[in-house]
A and B are shown apart, each in its own frame.
Chain A
Amino acid sequence: MSTLGIDLRIRHTPFHPRTREANLLNRWHSWQGFTVADAYFDADLEYFAVRNATGVFDLSPMTKYRISGPEALAYLDRLLTRDVTKLKPGRVAYAVWCDDAGKVIDDGTLFHLDDGTYRLCSQEYHLEWLQAAALGFDVLVQDETDSIAALAIQGPTSCAVLGAFGFANLPSLKPFGLRDDQVEGWNVTVSRTGFTGDLGYELWIDPEDALAIWDRLFDAGRPYGIKPMGGDALQMARIEAGFIQAGCDFLPADRLVRPGRARSPFELGLGWLVDFNKPHFSGRAALALENDVGSRWELVRLLVDGNKPARDAYLYGSARAPIGFVTSAMWSPVAKQNIALGTIERGKRRGSLKAEIFYQRELHWSRVLADCQTVEGPFFDPPRRRTTPALLR
C-alpha cells in the first residue's frame, strides 16, 4: 500500500525478474497496468538489433481473448469486418472490428488455434464489447491474458536463434502460420507474426515456464546478437513497417467523447479488411454508406524532407489552413529519411503536402516547413519477412 493508501494494482509480467535486471536505464511505462520497459540500454541500439540481429520484446500484456464454442466462427465473422471463414487452423489473420457507426474499436490478430477455437489479441482491453457481441451466439469469450506469457523474437537472425533454442523445422513455418511445439519439455505455441515488419516470431507459453525459457533463449541467441527490446525500439520498427497503432494513429471508437474523432477502416487505409461479400458484420451499413459517399479522413504515409522528425506536425495542402496532422514520426535509419504517418481530410489536398514542424533546441523553439511525399505501403519491407523457408544465418 502506498503513502496515499491507494492500491494502483501495478502488475508485472512473468518475465519481470529478467526484464528488471536487464533494464539498465530503469525506464518503464504502463501497458494495461503492466510494467513494461521503454528501453533497456539504448533504444537505437535495440532497434538496430531488430533490423540486423534479433530483438526480444515482452508482449505478455497483450490482451488475449479465447473464443470457443460451436458458433465461435459465426461470432467472429459478425464481429470482424473481414471474412474469417477461410482462416484455417494454424493460421493467423490481421483484423479490425467496428462499432455500429463503422468506426474502428481496435485492430488485432486472430489466431485459429484448433478447429473452432480462436484467440483474438489486441493492445487494448475489450471484454465488455466482445461479451455484448456474444448475444445470441453459442460462444464462450474468456480473457486469458494472465494465463499466457508471450515474447516477440524479431529480426533477421530470429529463426536461427529459435533453431538454436530447440525448434525443429521452424524455417518451414509460413508468415502468419501458427504451430504448437514441444521444446525441452515445454509446450510452446509459436507463430510467425510480429509488429516489426521483419522476419520474426512470437512465442506463447505457460507463465510458469517464462523465466526458464527467457534464459535458454538468451543463451541460445548470444552468438546471433540477441538483445532485449523495449517499447521505444518497437515503435521505430512498426512505423517503418507502416503499421498503425491504437492510442497513437487512431483511438478506440468506444472511448471517444467528441464527434468526428473516430476513424473507419477506410480512413486508416484498411479498406482491404472490409468485406461486403460476407454476411452481416457490425458496422456494415455505415461502412457501405461510407464506401458510396466517400470517407472524411485519409491515412497517409509520408517521406518528410529535412532532418527534423515531423513529430506532431500540422499537414498543409496548398491552402493556408492545415488539412491534417502527423500521428507517428521518426528518423528512419533504414530509409535514411524522415518518415511519418498522418491523417488528412480527404479531397482537400492540392499538390504536395507540407509538414509544419516545430522543434526545440536548448529551450528555443524553431519552425520549419518541410515538403512531404506520400508513399503507398510500408517504408521498409525486406523480402526476408516473407521468404519461406525462413532465413537461417
Chain B
Amino acid sequence: MTERLDVIVIGAGHNGLVCAERLARAGRKVVVLERREQVGGMTETIEFAPGYRASACAQFLYDLPMSTVDELGLVSHGLTMDPRPLDTVALAPDTEPRVFSSNRTSTLPGMDASAWPAFRKHMLDLAGFIEHIKQRPPPKLHQRDRADLLGLAGMGLALRRLGTDDMREFLRLITSNVYDLLCEHFEDPVVRGAIGFDAVLGTHLGPRSPGSVLTLLHRWSRGGGPVQPIGGLGAVSSALAASARAAGVHVRTESGVRNINVHAGRAIGVTLNDGSTLEAQDIVSNVDPRRTLLDLVGARHIDIGLARRFHRIRAKGTAARMLLALDGLPEAPSGNDRLLRQRLVVAGDLDELERAYNPVKYGEFSPKPALEISVPTLSDPALAPAGHHVVSITAQYAPLRPEGGWTTSRRDAFADAIRNTLDAALPGVARHIVAEDLLVPDDLESRYGITGGHWHHGELALDQFLFTRPVAFGAQYRQALAGLTLCSAGAHPGGHVSGHAGRHAAAAILRRGTES
C-alpha cells in the first residue's frame, strides 16, 4: 500500500521542519518522517536526569532570523525568548572575568577595552557579506540561468559594497587564521582566547588553523550574540513543529527511513524501517548529505565522481556535551550574580586553546578542554526542581572515535577533565553535582544519525562552502539526484539553528514548481 504525497521530508530537525512548513504554506501536501520519538533532532531539550532538563546539543541561538520567527509564527506557537543577547564572560583561574558585551557594559583590561568595540564593529561589517551569502542560495556556476547570474552579480556587489579597504581586508582574512588576527588587535591573553574560542567552536580547527576567521565571521554574521529560549532549544523545535502542523504538515515520529527509492534516475519515494513505502513528487532530506546519498540513496544510483565527492566530505565532530544537575549554585564570578546568567567561556589563552586542539588530531581528547558554559535554570527555573540547577557545557576537543573506542574509563577520564577545568574556573561547582550526562561525538553520531557527529553536517571550511557545499556540482540543494533535495546544515549555508538551509531548499522546490 503506497501513499501518494507531494513532498516527503526525512528528518524533523529544525531545517526539515522549516522546509516542510514553507512548502505546506505554499499548498504542498507534506509529510515529515522522523526516526526518533520526538522532533527536533539536535535541536532538542532532554531530561538527562530525573527532573533535570537541558538543551541536548546546541544551547544558544546565534542565527535564527527574527523574520523566520515572525513568518512561521513561532511566538504564537509557544516560543518564548528574550531577544537581548547574552554577554560572553571569559573565566580564567585567579583573575578577573572579562566581559564581552554588545553594548557599553564590557569590562576588558587595558587597551583591549577600547579595541573590542572597534574590532567587533569591523568584524560585523565584514560578516555582513557572509550574512548576504547565507540569506541566499548559492548561485550556480557555468550556467546561463538569469537568476543564477543575478545571484552571482549580487554577491559581487555585496562584496564590493564593503568598500575598497574592507573588501581587501575580507579577502586577506578569509583564508587566514584567527590566532594572527587576534594578536593584531588584542593584548590580553584571556581576551584573545575567548574570541578565538568563538572561531573554533563546533569545528575541527584550532585557532592557528587556516579558515578559522571564516568560521568566526559565520558565527558572528548576525551579531554573534547568543540567545537562550525558555525551555531550551527544544522549545524552538516544538514551535517549529506546531507551526508546520498548523500549515498542514503531517509530522510522523518513530518513522525511520531505511531507503530513498530511486526509479529511472529519480528519487520517487522512501521505504521506512517497518517496510512500508511512501511516494512523493519531491523527496527532501534533512539527513546529512553523505548519509543521504551514500546510505539512503546508495552510491550505485549516482555517478562515480559525485559519490566520491560525497564520500570525501570532511565531517569529524570535536564538540562534546556535558550536562550537570546541581543541588545548589556555585559562587558567581567576582561575586557578581549577573555574570553567572551569561554565556561563560573557559578557553585560556590562544596557546592553551591550540594545545587543547592538538590531541584530537591524533584521536585523543583534550586533557584540558575548552568550555562554553551556561546555567539556564537562572533564567528558566522550570528546567530543574526548585532550588536546583542545571549546568550546560559544550566541551572541546573530543575525537569522534579514539583508538580503542569510547570505553567507560575513557569517558570517565574525559568527564574528569571537563569537571576539573570547570571547577578551576567556577570554584566549588563540583561539590554540587548530583547527576551528569556526557555526549561525545560518537554518541551524537549514533543518537542523531549524523556522519561524524559533526554539528554542521560537514566541516565549515572554504572547500566546503557556498558553491562547494556539500560538494562541487551538488551545491544547489537539488543537484545530486533528480527528485531529491538536501535541506540539512550540510547544504549551504551550514550550521547553527538558523533554518536557512530549510528555507532555501523549499524555495528551490517551489521555484522549480513554477517553471514546470
Chain A residues engaging chain B, CB cutoff 8 angstroms: 74, 78-79, 99-100, 129, 132-133, 135-137, 279-280, 282-285
Given contacts A100-B304, A132-B305, A136-B298, 10 further A-B contacts (CB under 8 A): A74-B300, A79-B304, A99-B305, A100-B303, A100-B473, A135-B311, A280-B302, A282-B303, A282-B304, A284-B303
Contact status B304-A132, CB under 8 Å: yes
- Determine the distance from Cα of A133 to Cα of B300 in the docked complex, in whole angstroms: 8
- Of the A-B pairs whose beta carbons lie under 8 Å apart in the complex, a sample of 10, sorted by A's number, is A79-B304, A99-B303, A100-B304, A132-B305, A132-B307, A132-B311, A135-B311, A136-B298, A284-B265, A284-B303
- Determine the distance from Cα of A11 to Cα of B112 in the docked complex, in whole angstroms: 66
Taking CB atoms, residues of chain B closer than 8 Å to A100 are 303-306, 473
Q: Which 3 A-B pairs have the closest CB atoms?
A: A136-B299, A100-B303, A100-B305
Chain B residues engaging chain A, CB cutoff 8 angstroms: 262, 265, 294, 298-308, 311, 473, 482
Taking CB atoms, residues of chain A closer than 8 Å to B306 are 100
Tell me which of B265, B304, B311 contacts A285 (CB under 8 A): B265
Contact status B294-A135, CB under 8 Å: yes
Contact status A280-B301, CB under 8 Å: yes
Taking CB atoms, residues of chain A closer than 8 Å to B301 are 280
Which of B301, B306, B308, B482 has most chain A Cβ within 10 Å?
B308
Taking CB atoms, residues of chain B closer than 8 Å to A133 are 304
B301 to chain A minimum Cβ distance, whole angstroms, is: 5
Nearest opposing residue in chain A for B473, CB measure:
A100
Nearest opposing residue in chain A for B303, CB measure:
A100
- Determine the distance from Cα of A129 to Cα of B306 in the docked complex, in whole angstroms: 12
B261 to chain A minimum Cβ distance, whole angstroms, is: 13
A127 to chain B minimum Cβ distance, whole angstroms, is: 13
Number of A-B pairs, beta carbon distance below 8 Å? 47
Taking CB atoms, residues of chain B closer than 8 Å to A136 are 294, 298-300, 307
A302 to chain B minimum Cβ distance, whole angstroms, is: 34
- Determine the distance from Cα of A137 to Cα of B299 in the docked complex, in whole angstroms: 8
Contact status B303-A137, CB under 8 Å: no
Contact status A137-B305, CB under 8 Å: no
Contact status A135-B299, CB under 8 Å: yes
Taking CB atoms, residues of chain A closer than 8 Å to B473 are 100
- Determine the distance from Cα of A283 to Cα of B482 in the docked complex, in whole angstroms: 14
- Determine the distance from Cα of A366 to Cα of B307 in the docked complex, in whole angstroms: 52
Contact status A282-B299, CB under 8 Å: no
Nearest opposing residue in chain A for B482, CB measure:
A285
- Determine the distance from Cα of A129 to Cα of B301 in the docked complex, in whole angstroms: 17
Taking CB atoms, residues of chain B closer than 8 Å to A79 are 304
Contact status A280-B262, CB under 8 Å: yes
Contact status B307-A135, CB under 8 Å: yes
A238 to chain B minimum Cβ distance, whole angstroms, is: 28
- Determine the distance from Cα of A265 to Cα of B26 in the docked complex, in whole angstroms: 43
Nearest opposing residue in chain B for A286, CB measure:
B303
Tell me which of A99, A129, A132, A280 contacts B300 (CB under 8 A): A280
Contact status B265-A282, CB under 8 Å: no
Q: A132-B308, A135-B311 are in contact. Are A283 and B294 (CB under 8 A)?
A: no
Taking CB atoms, residues of chain B closer than 8 Å to A99 are 303-305
Taking CB atoms, residues of chain B closer than 8 Å to A279 are 300
- Determine the distance from Cα of A393 to Cα of B154 in the docked complex, in whole angstroms: 77
A141 to chain B minimum Cβ distance, whole angstroms, is: 12
- Determine the distance from Cα of A250 to Cα of B19 in the docked complex, in whole angstroms: 46
